């Protein structure tokens, strides 16, 4: 029953002397009459349960509402009005009808659909409006929810009423009408033959495209109604009859701001391959530093190319330790630089002759010059010196100095003064090892699918291994050579075309195909200045099924077998590994448990984040998702309104 305040408000609304203008953007029905409008004040909808709806009624009850035209500094006539209602089966939305406005108020009517009257219950409803503000930001205005009772009634013929889809049909009709209006404006502008003819043509093209997009969306929805995983047909009809499918992509994760709570129709995760490489510029060999201890401090070289200082407090006695490096073949005349941090014990590098005289000394961040005479001095060697006087404070930690003559001083580990990967300094090829897909919502909702792959997902350029909701699609292949293959010698006049080759070692004919190798550099055929070249096929022109290892560090033209036996023995204990791609992808089904976990993933209403948990390089991810129809409607209507107003959106 209405309160005294609500009755007085209704009288105040009715007493106003207002001139009303029909809003042609909404459906209009002439066979319905609504002599009294329910007032909406301060976002509160007055009680309207004196208007009776019975279970099973369809488009029989017509409720009018009167709202202030200006609310929260917004003109509601410039927004898109909707009605949302919530039943035991879920929520749905519709557009109002018979909308009109005056200087102070907006009137609208709700033709209550059969979908809202399926059960005798108290349903919730509200009015909301969407649009944009003066700077183009999206706005959403809402009333507080109101309760409306659906009374019990008898079935007509005992059947079950079909879920109503009229609100969407109204929307499509509304959109198609606006497109036609926009097309008319465009044609009028073209006919006028004024300077704006170009804009009119663009507007007409946009209008045509909008109309086509609306029809394609409707057709696609109908074809997809029964394909969502985990929902029966009734739930699909009720929840997804008017679903629109959006798509998004990213690296490692995807975030979408217009999702609806629904199963994910499609997901694709694409792997990548990565490999650490060096230029050979590092001349400091940390592996040569043994465990050195004095004065309460310990210094030792680390496996990753640095040196570690341990201990605390002050040195209890002086620390003085040296390491002699006799192989200085990597040094050459010219500048030599040491980039390092100041530490205690301190690192210093010297060039010393056989008489123990220092020819050159480098401390942190210094540059000195090596001469030809220094390198030709009898018995010359390099010395790493670590020292610190008593009472100096120890600086524990791991440090990574860079001693170099070439390059810009970017740190890299020592690889014998030669680029890596190489047989002496192999570098692992790392793929993307996907372990989980997690979906998060704004309200801390979360769903996770655990993934167990039999091998990482690799990628060479555009050729990528992928997983979808049901399959693994391998485009790449890992080839392993352990010396048991038919290896032969290839001796030509140039080092870059001499080495070894595995006859028939490739799974298909390749023409210098790109890839990665753990002990060499895959090149497109002969390449000057590159040692340990790997050719996948003989050349870009002819191709073959043979694997070539050219300018190889094991190749020796001065011995009888040219080093072939040593090369095969090396492979037996250190297999050559190559990742490249195949002409034809190989598809396999994901395990049933993985498919079930992926099919159970859903997006959440509002902003949804989809994150891929993986070791190795971050994967690329692409997703199709069910969009929030209200958000899409608002966007489409904004575009069509722009066309109607002479824009070219």
- pLDDT tens for residues 3-48? 544 444 444 444 457 899 999 888 888 776 666 899 999 999 999 9
Buried b (16+ CB within 10 A) or exposed e, 45-67: bbebeeeebebbbbeebbbbbbb
Locate 631 and state its tokens: 């958000």
Residues 318-327 pLDDT 10s: 999 999 999 9
Mention every residue, 6+ apart, whose C-beta is less than 8 A from residue 271. 431, 432, 434, 456, 457, 458, 459, 464, 465, 466, 476, 616, 617, 619
Per the CB < 8 A criterion, the answer to whether 520 and 421 are in contact is yes
Q: What is the pTM of this model?
A: 0.62
Strands 62-68, 37-41: pairing is parallel
Taken as a whole, the chain contains a residue count of 649
- The pLDDT of residue 133 is 80
DSSP letters, 190-237, are HHHTSTTHHHHHHHHHHHHHHHHHHHHHHHHHHHHTT--TT--HHHHH
Cα-to-chain-centroid distance, residue 283:
39
- The pLDDT of residue 485 is 97
Helix or strand (DSSP H, E) at 629: helix 629-644
Per the CB < 8 A criterion, the answer to whether 189 and 200 are in contact is yes
Can you tell me which residue has the tokens 């009229």?
A: 166
- Band of the pLDDT at 196, cuts 50, 70, 90? very low
Strand partners of residue 128: 82, 142
Helix or strand (DSSP H, E) at 5: helix 4-15
- The pLDDT of residue 439 is 96
- Band of the pLDDT at 225, cuts 50, 70, 90? very low
177 against 307, higher pLDDT? 307
- The pLDDT of residue 212 is 62
Dihedral angle of Cα 112, 113, 119, 121, to the nearest 10 degrees: -20
CA of 35: how far to CAs of 10, 32, 63, 64, 112, in Å?
12, 10, 10, 8, 17
**Which strands form 499-502's sheet, in the order they lie side by side?**
487-490, 499-502, 547-550, 533-536, 521-522
- The pLDDT of residue 464 is 98
Burial of 428 (0-12, 13-18, 19+ CB in 10 A): exposed
**What is d(CA 436, CA 448) in angstroms, rounded to the nearest whole number?**
7
Can you tell me which residue has the tokens 């809402």?
A: 142
**What is d(CA 25, CA 52) in angstroms, rounded to the nearest whole number?**
28
Angle at 340 (CA atoms; ends 338, 342), nearest 5 degrees: 125
Q: Radius of gyration of the chain from Cα atoms? A: 38
**What is d(CA 26, CA 82) in angstroms, rounded to the nearest whole number?**
10
Percent of the chain with pLDDT over 90: 64
Residues 435-453 pLDDT 10s: 999 999 988 899 999 999 9
pLDDT at 236 over 60: no
Lowest mean pLDDT among 108-122, 150-164, 394-408: 150-164
pLDDT at 142 over 50: yes
């Amino acid at each position: 029953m209405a309160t005294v305040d609500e009755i007085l408000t209704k009288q105040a609304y009715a007493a106003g002397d207002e001139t009303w203008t029909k809003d042609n953007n909404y459906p209009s029905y002439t066979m319905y009459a609504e002599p009294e409008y329910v007032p909406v004040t301060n976002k509160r909808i007055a009680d309207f349960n004196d208007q009776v709806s019975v279970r099973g009624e369809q488009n029989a009850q017509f409720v009018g509402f009167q709202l202030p035209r200006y609310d929260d500094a917004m003109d509601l006539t410039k927004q898109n009005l909707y009605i949302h209602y919530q039943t035991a089966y879920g929520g749905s939305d519709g557009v109002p009808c018979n909308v009109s406005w005056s200087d102070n108020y907006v009137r609208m009517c709700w033709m209550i659909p059969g979908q809202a009257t399926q059960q005798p219950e108290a349903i919730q409803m509200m009015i909301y409006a969407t649009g944009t503000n003066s700077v183009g930001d999206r706005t959403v205005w809402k009333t507080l929810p109101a309760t409306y009772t659906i009374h019990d009634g008898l079935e007509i013929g005992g059947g079950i009423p079909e879920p109503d889809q009229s609100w969407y049909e109204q929307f499509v009709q509304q959109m198609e009408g606006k497109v036609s209006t926009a097309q008319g404006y465009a044609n009028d502008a073209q006919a006028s033959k004024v300077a704006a003819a170009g804009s009119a043509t663009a507007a007409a093209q946009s209008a045509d495209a909008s109309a086509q997009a609306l029809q394609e969306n409707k057709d696609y929805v109908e074809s997809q109604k029964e394909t969502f995983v985990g929902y029966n047909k009734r739930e699909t009809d009720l929840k997804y009859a008017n679903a629109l499918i959006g798509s998004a992509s990213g690296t490692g994760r995807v975030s979408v701001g217009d999702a609806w709570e629904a199963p994910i129709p499609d997901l694709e995760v694409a792997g990548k391959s990565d490999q650490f490489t060096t230029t050979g510029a590092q001349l400091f060999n940390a592996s040569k530093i043994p465990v050195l201890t004095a004065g309460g401090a310990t210094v030792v070289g680390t496996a990753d190319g640095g040196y570690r200082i341990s201990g605390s407090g002050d040195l209890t006695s002086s620390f003085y330790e040296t390491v002699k490096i006799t192989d200085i073949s990597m040094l050459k005349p010219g500048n030599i630089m040491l980039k390092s941090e100041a530490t205690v014990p301190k690192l210093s590098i010297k060039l010393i002759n056989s008489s123990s005289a220092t020819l050159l000394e480098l401390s942190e961040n210094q540059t000195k010059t090596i001469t030809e005479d220094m390198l030709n001095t009898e018995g010359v060697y390099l010395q790493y010196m670590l020292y610190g006087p008593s009472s100096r404070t120890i600086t524990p930690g791991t440090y990574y100095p860079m001693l170099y003559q070439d390059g810009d001083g970017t740190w890299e580990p020592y690889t014998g003064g030669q680029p890596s990967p190489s047989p002496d300094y192999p570098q692992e090829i790392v793929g993307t090892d996907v372990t989980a897909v997690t979906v998060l919502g704004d309200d801390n909702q979360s769903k996770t699918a655990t993934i167990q792959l039999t091998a990482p997902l690799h990628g060479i350029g555009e050729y990528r291994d992928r997983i979808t909701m049901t399959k693994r699609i391998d485009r790449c292949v890992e080839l392993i050579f352990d010396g048991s293959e038919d290896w032969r010698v290839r001796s030509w006049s140039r080092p870059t075309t001499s080495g070894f080759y595995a006859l028939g070692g490739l799974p298909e004919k390749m023409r210098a195909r790109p890839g990665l190798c753990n002990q060499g550099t895959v090149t497109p055929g002969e390449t000057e200045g590159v040692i340990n070249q790997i050719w996948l096929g003989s050349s870009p022109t002819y191709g073959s099924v043979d694997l070539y290892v050219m300018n190889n560090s094991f190749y020796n033209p001065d011995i009888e077998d040219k080093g072939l036996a040593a090369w095969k023995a090396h492979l037996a204990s250190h297999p050559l590994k190559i990742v490249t791609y195949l002409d034809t992808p190989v598809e396999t089904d994901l395990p049933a448990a993985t498919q079930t976990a992926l099919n159970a993933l859903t997006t959440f209403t509002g902003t949804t984040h989809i994150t891929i948990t993986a070791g190795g390089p971050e994967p690329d991810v692409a997703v199709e998702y069910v969009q929030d129809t209200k958000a899409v409607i608002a966007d489409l209507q904004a575009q069509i309104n722009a066309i109607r107003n002479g824009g070219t959106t």
